[in-house]
Structure 1
Amino acid sequence: MLKRLINLFLLLPMACIDPYEVTVPDGQQLLTVEGLIHTGPGPHAITLTRSDTYGSVFEGLIRPVTGATVVVRDDEGRITFLAEGQDSRGSYFTPVGFQAEIGKSYTLQIQTADERVYTSLPERVESVPEIEDIGVKTVTIPVEGEIIPRSGVQLISEINDPADQNNFYFWRLSPVVHVLEARPDLFTDREFRTSAPKDCCSVCYRTESTGNQSLFIAQDDNFNGLNTRIPAAFIEDNGLRFVNTLRVDLKQYAISQEAFRFLRLVKQQAEISGSIFDPPPATIRGNMISLDNPDEVVLGYFMAAGESTRRIYISKADLTFQQNAGIIPDDCRTVSGASVNPPFDWNP
């Protein structure tokens, strides 16, 4: 039997198998525009990136778009040129003194280094009510398989909504500044694995950009003309930010109805749970178009808005639940963004 099998294999044709070459088409390079100009002090930033996309699942490299000419034009024909940041490739900044004006409309115009031209639809700047007060609420978020939940502080904006107009709101956070407590007396020399306490420093002031943990937006359909309190931000407790005192500026914007619709779609897509009942992800078109090719997909949105800002200091005593305090066994100045000197306007 074995002999017959050997003879059978010898009768089979022997040939090399040529590799099958698969040509994968380059992904479509999509320009993404992200920017907001407002009535507050500048500079204001417009960020341009371009990405290669492959199918609907994987998104490849995201590259900054450098060397572009970026201008903002108002409805009276006044033009403001934005300069690319030296340390922020692909980000373009208005002059320091530039501020948008309520009632005016603004258009963003872009010419890339390869001479492609893009423009936004006009965005009108609406007036925004002041933030009357900021409430603080501790929020805990259960984590599957964990005993200790995630937690943080929710900021609640109190406003008197104007009755004479339909308002659409959007909130963002400034970088936070918080007291950072460390234990330089616990420092260990890693090379010799011996205790090597440092003389300084145990207390610093750290500035960091936490960003908002979600998109916080609202429209006044249910509270038009009323005094109301709206969740506007969330800052997560990472075991370091709330061991003492934290400061943050809450920025409230009055945006256009079109910008609100765009952000609402982005928020809905970002909060898809991942179940089989979720709708498939879709490309969300903003207000940017290509003047060379109207069919080109341009992502992102250029917004112009009225801004209102209010500062709040949050003490650890304001929290009803805290994460276990993180231990930094080193000089606190070794932490990125930390300094022993408080900001000049630090006034809890």
Structure 2
Amino acid sequence: MRTFPLSIGRSLIWCLALLMGCTDSYLPEALESPPNYLVVDGFLNAQGVTTVRLSRTYAVDSKAVAPAELRANAFIEDEAGARLGLREGVAGAYVSAPLVLDPAKKYRLRVLTQAGQDYASEFVPVKLTPPIDAVAWRATPEGVDVLVDTHDDQNASQYYRWDYEETWEINPPYRPNVEYVNGQMRDIVVPYPTICWGSALSTAIQIDKTTALSQDVVSGFRVRRLARTSERLTSRYSVLVQQHALTKEEYAYWELLRKNTESLGSLFDPQPAQLTGNVRCLSAPDQLALGFVSAHSCTEKRLFIARQELPQEWDVRTGYEGCLPPDTVYIDRPNPPIPNPVVILYGAFNPLSGNLPIEPVYGPGPVLQGYTAKSRDCIDCRTRGTTVRPTFW
């Protein structure tokens, strides 16, 4: 066993004591009050609608969402100065009409903020993304893997990025037949929905390159893994995979961003590198901007998975496990009330409580004793999704 001199051992113990005693969190002033940098998120769609989101940096300890950059003038510009405008939508999103960009030209994004700052990305070439050959799924001991295949016979793509949009059915466990309105219980007039649809966008950075291969072919790249207990697999699930062909410079940007965001933050991890991109402030060169704007087309393919197709022994959850069984709320009276009474309950159906009645509970006689009940989140699936059926469903 390796030993240390006594003086070194005492020093180590003293250092450990100091570290263990330092429990107060520390946020440098620069992190608590960061500079107000512009953040540009999006790409110039070479064959479709361009959507670019503009926001500002905010404090690392803030629980707020990124503040949107509103009332800016945004447009696509080619090297000859021709402009294609983007209109402002909601939450700092700027959207174009359907466009077809000329592959023989270079384009950039130009942004004039309400404060008078002039930003522009670098002029970039137009890349045409090859079609997705196939999107398939595979059952594994861990769950479901969603895999993508693609290739480019021209060997011109080589750098790829994927994102996806998920949609799934939500089936609540309860079908209430009564409701509490104006202090009175009655038969329900407008039933709660029996099905909703949840949705989510990808957050992980999924990139791959074929530069080390003899052919520009991607085979079986995993873009999504769902746990075998995932509530998204309860009934029917769909994923729309979107594919982007990148330039070498944009791939390097996304690779650095992935490394910065996936680091666990230990002393032995690579330290985060400064990430800026290709957007610059023309009116104030020392003003930093974040984001990388490229110009390429996007191809996509959709996949459906039904619960019946998955291994039957899988313990797929519904997401409503915590809602079972229902509670019982008893009528606050020593004697049973007359039918359809104005009842006084233990505050259970106060609108502020969020509880909803489900159905009557009868005792011997039968005598109305109360009602089963549960929180709105357990009954109304609109708290978890929408009742608007997707057009592709």
Normalised by the length of structure 1, the TM-score is: 0.75
Q: 2:136 touches 2:148 (CA, 8 Å); kept in 1?
A: yes
User: Shift of residue 52 of structure 1?
Assistant: 4.3
CA distance in 2 between counterparts of 1:237 and 1:67 reads: 45
Corresponding residue for residue 4 of structure 2? none
1:259 counterpart letter in structure 2: E
User: Shift of residue 118 of structure 1?
Assistant: 0.9
What stretches of structure 1 move > 6 A for 4+ residues in a row?
Answer: 186-192, 196-199
Corresponding residue for residue 76 of structure 2? 72
Q: Does 1:89 align with 2:95?
A: no
Which of 175, 180, 183 lines up with 2:173 in the alignment?
183
Q: Does 1:29 align with 2:30?
A: no
Corresponding residue for residue 55 of structure 2? 49
User: In structure 2, do the counterparts of structure 1 residues 237 and 286 end up closer, same or farther at CA, with 3 Å as the change threshold?
Assistant: farther
Q: 2:117 touches 2:284 (CA, 8 Å); kept in 1?
A: no
User: Shift of residue 35 of structure 1?
Assistant: 1.2
Local SS of the residue matching 2:257: helix
Local SS of the residue matching 2:255: helix
Aligned length in residues: 301
User: In structure 2, do the counterparts of structure 1 residues 314 and 45 end up closer, same or farther at CA, with 3 Å as the change threshold?
Assistant: same
User: In structure 2, do the counterparts of structure 1 residues 322 and 271 end up closer, same or farther at CA, with 3 Å as the change threshold?
Assistant: farther
User: In structure 2, do the counterparts of structure 1 residues 94 and 180 end up closer, same or farther at CA, with 3 Å as the change threshold?
Assistant: same
1:83 counterpart letter in structure 2: R
Corresponding residue for residue 149 of structure 2? 158
CA RMSD of aligned residues (A): 3.2
Corresponding residue for residue 242 of structure 2? 251
2:201 counterpart letter in structure 1: G
User: Shift of residue 182 of structure 1?
Assistant: 1.4
- Mapping of residues 209-288 of structure 1, within 5 Å: 210-223=200-213, 224-226=215-217, 228-234=219-225, 239-288=230-279
Local SS of the residue matching 2:175: helix
User: In structure 2, do the counterparts of structure 1 residues 74 and 319 end up closer, same or farther at CA, with 3 Å as the change threshold?
Assistant: farther
Q: 2:278 touches 2:291 (CA, 8 Å); kept in 1?
A: yes
User: Shift of residue 311 of structure 1?
Assistant: 1.2
User: Shift of residue 248 of structure 1?
Assistant: 2.4
Q: 1:185 touches 1:199 (CA, 8 Å); kept in 2?
A: no
User: Shift of residue 121 of structure 1?
Assistant: 0.4
CA distance in 2 between counterparts of 1:177 and 1:227 reads: 25
User: Shift of residue 207 of structure 1?
Assistant: 4.4
The structure that has the greater radius of gyration is 2
Q: Does 1:326 align with 2:326?
A: no
Local SS of the residue matching 2:251: helix
User: In structure 2, do the counterparts of structure 1 residues 258 and 227 end up closer, same or farther at CA, with 3 Å as the change threshold?
Assistant: closer
Which of 284, 306, 309 lines up with 1:315 in the alignment?
306
Q: 2:120 touches 2:282 (CA, 8 Å); kept in 1?
A: yes
Local SS of the residue matching 2:287: coil
Corresponding residue for residue 121 of structure 2? 120
Corresponding residue for residue 345 of structure 1? 392
CA distance in 2 between counterparts of 1:58 and 1:177 reads: 31
CA distance in 2 between counterparts of 1:226 and 1:280 reads: 32
User: Shift of residue 105 of structure 1?
Assistant: 2.2
User: Shift of residue 259 of structure 1?
Assistant: 0.9
User: Shift of residue 253 of structure 1?
Assistant: 0.8
User: Shift of residue 126 of structure 1?
Assistant: 1.2
CA distance in 1 between counterparts of 2:224 and 2:42 reads: 19
CA distance in 2 between counterparts of 1:276 and 1:123 reads: 37
Local SS of the residue matching 2:379: coil
2:45 counterpart letter in structure 1: H
**Structure with higher RCO (Cα < 8 A, 6+ apart):** 1
Corresponding residue for residue 342 of structure 2? none
Local SS of the residue matching 1:301: coil
User: In structure 2, do the counterparts of structure 1 residues 114 and 213 end up closer, same or farther at CA, with 3 Å as the change threshold?
Assistant: closer
Local SS of the residue matching 2:202: coil
Q: 1:184 touches 1:197 (CA, 8 Å); kept in 2?
A: no
User: In structure 2, do the counterparts of structure 1 residues 227 and 173 end up closer, same or farther at CA, with 3 Å as the change threshold?
Assistant: closer
Local SS of the residue matching 2:294: strand
Local SS of the residue matching 1:279: coil
Note the alpha carbon deviations across 1:276-317, whole angstroms, 9 max, x for none.
212333320100011122222211111222211111111124
Q: 1:213 touches 1:233 (CA, 8 Å); kept in 2?
A: no
Q: 1:37 touches 1:99 (CA, 8 Å); kept in 2?
A: no
CA distance in 2 between counterparts of 1:170 and 1:280 reads: 24
User: Shift of residue 60 of structure 1?
Assistant: 8.3
User: In structure 2, do the counterparts of structure 1 residues 156 and 104 end up closer, same or farther at CA, with 3 Å as the change threshold?
Assistant: farther
CA distance in 1 between counterparts of 2:130 and 2:44 reads: 17
Note the alpha carbon deviations across 1:62-112, whole angstroms, 9 max, x for none.
321111111111345431111111xx23221112x2244445422001111
CA distance in 1 between counterparts of 2:77 and 2:209 reads: 27
CA distance in 1 between counterparts of 2:189 and 2:307 reads: 27
Give structure 1 stretches of 5+ with no counterpart.
1-23, 141-150
State the identity as a percent: 20
Local SS of the residue matching 2:243: strand
User: In structure 2, do the counterparts of structure 1 residues 276 and 92 end up closer, same or farther at CA, with 3 Å as the change threshold?
Assistant: same
User: In structure 2, do the counterparts of structure 1 residues 238 and 206 end up closer, same or farther at CA, with 3 Å as the change threshold?
Assistant: farther
Normalised by the length of structure 2, the TM-score is: 0.67
